[in-house]
Copies of this chain bind each other. A is one copy, B any other.
Amino acid sequence: MTRLQDVYPDNRVILREVGLRDGLQLVKTFPSTAAKQRWIREEYAAGVRHFEVGSFLPAKTFPQFVDVREIIQTVGALPGAYGIALTLNERGVNEALASGVAEVATVVSATEEHSQANANRTRESAIANVKRLCELRDASEHKPIINAAVSMALGCSIVGAVDPVEVLRITEKLFEAGVDMVAIADTVGFAGPKQVGELTAGAVKIAGNKPICIHLHDTRGMGIANASAALDAGARVLDGSLGGLGGCPFAPGATGNVVFEDLAFLCESKGFKTGIDIEKLVAVRSILKSEMPGEALYGGMARAGLPRGTAAKAA
């Protein structure tokens, strides 16, 4: 059984590397299993402990995650490291529960329109599926953490603006359904820091002593500013991907998640210890460059390095 307080201690900031799942969603070439393992091990050596490693979706559609079980094992073998796998249906849930992964992630759309278009189901039906997932978790051997993301929570690719009251209502229902944590996702990078700060504050209040994860995309250059606002509003779990790997099918040319190494610098600059050695983290980009030479990598830390006089290593 995975204990929430061990994986997400509430007295510090946790940064999660989601490049191995979200970052690989749209890339043109896939890293080999061995390269993924090097990526994980080298980030682990740099201090990273939370890795979204893949999804239990049909390998025919998502061949980049065909090795998800092996990657879960890779992370599981590292002391104090936690793997996260995405599931969207009951078959996937059962496979995820059987895999021994520390955390199972799933998704509910913030808007009815996106829920219907993307998953062909209502939001209420999606929340009912999350409840079923929590029941299966309770009956499982490993009892992983269940993390439900609210996608399009800060703007929807179909309807545009999203009512924060709706997002908070869904957040509340997800906790009632039995999830351990909720992720607030700016899936298409619509938001600015004011909006992110306000929604984060509301979600953190609802969550009480459970974690709220903030999952941001840097589509319009607001990623780090939004992360800063989320931290100010009380979020302590944030997602990023090394080099901002990834993209969005709804915004051609858009970058992926917030740049992980810049996110670490942001946190350290605000006095939040991440446990991450930023220079070591930046060095891991070489794996991505050699495995996926066609992908653009972003980020200021990689260009400029730590400022003079900055301690290279976090406490």
A266-B225 contact given A161-B309, A271-B194, A309-B160, CB 8 Å threshold:
yes
A66 interfacial contact with B, CB 8 Å: no
CA distance A185 to B162 in the complex (A): 37
Taking each of A189, A195, A221, A251, which has the highest tally of chain B beta carbons within 10 Å of its own beta carbon? A221
Q: Copy number in this complex?
A: 2
Contact B221 A259 (CB under 8 A): yes
Task: Name the B residues within 8 Å of A259 (CB-CB).
Answer: 221
In the bound complex, CA of A308 to CA of B250 (Å):
10
Shortest beta-carbon distance, A248 to chain B, in Å?
8
Q: Tell me the nearest residue of chain B to A254, going by C-beta.
A: B304
Query: B-facing mask of A271-315, CB < 8 A → 1, else 0?
Result: 100000000000000000000000000011101110111100000
Interface string of A260-272 (1 = CB under 8 A from B): 0010011011110
User: How far apart are A197's CB and chain B's nearest CB, in angstroms?
Assistant: 10
B194–A307 touching, CB < 8 Å = no
A227 within 8 A of B: yes
A220: CB under 8 A from chain B?
yes
Return chain B residues, CB-CB under 8 Å to A160: 307-310
A64 CB–B CB distance under 8 Å:
no
Contact of A193 among B191, B254, B269 (CB under 8 A): B269
Residue of B nearest to A157 (CB): B308
B266 touches A193 (CB 8 A): yes
Q: Are A303 and B254 in contact (CB under 8 A)?
A: yes
Q: How far is the CB of A113 from chain B (nearest CB, A)?
A: 12
Q: A222-B269, A269-B222, A270-B193 are in contact. Are A251 and B159 (CB under 8 A)?
A: no
Can you name the residue of chain B whose Cβ is closest to the Cβ of A188? B307
Interface residues of A (CB under 8 A from B): 155-161, 188-195, 218-222, 224-225, 227-229, 248, 251, 253-255, 259, 262, 265-266, 268-271, 299-301, 303-305, 307-310
Q: Which of B158, B195, B300, B310 contacts A269 (CB 8 A)?
A: B195
Indicate if the CB atoms of B159 and A309 lie closer than 8 Å. yes
Contact of A265 with B221 at beta-carbon distance under 8 Å, contacts A192-B270, A309-B161 already known = yes
Given contacts A192-B266, A193-B266, A228-B228, contact A220 B159 (CB under 8 A): no
Whole-angstrom CA separation of A254 from B224 in the bound complex: 17
Chain B residue at minimum C-beta to C-beta distance from A308: B160
Which chain B positions have C-beta within 8 A of A262?
A: 220-222
- Asked whether, in the complex, the Cβ of A220 is within 8 Å of the Cβ of B255, the reply is no
Chain B residue, CB-CB nearest to A195: B269
Among B194, B224, B254, the residue within 8 A (CB) of A225 is: B224
Partner of A307 from B155, B253, B307, B310 at Cβ < 8 Å: B155
CA distance A248 to B157 in the complex (A): 37
Q: Contact check: which of B193, B269, B299, B300 meets A194 at CB < 8 Å?
A: B269
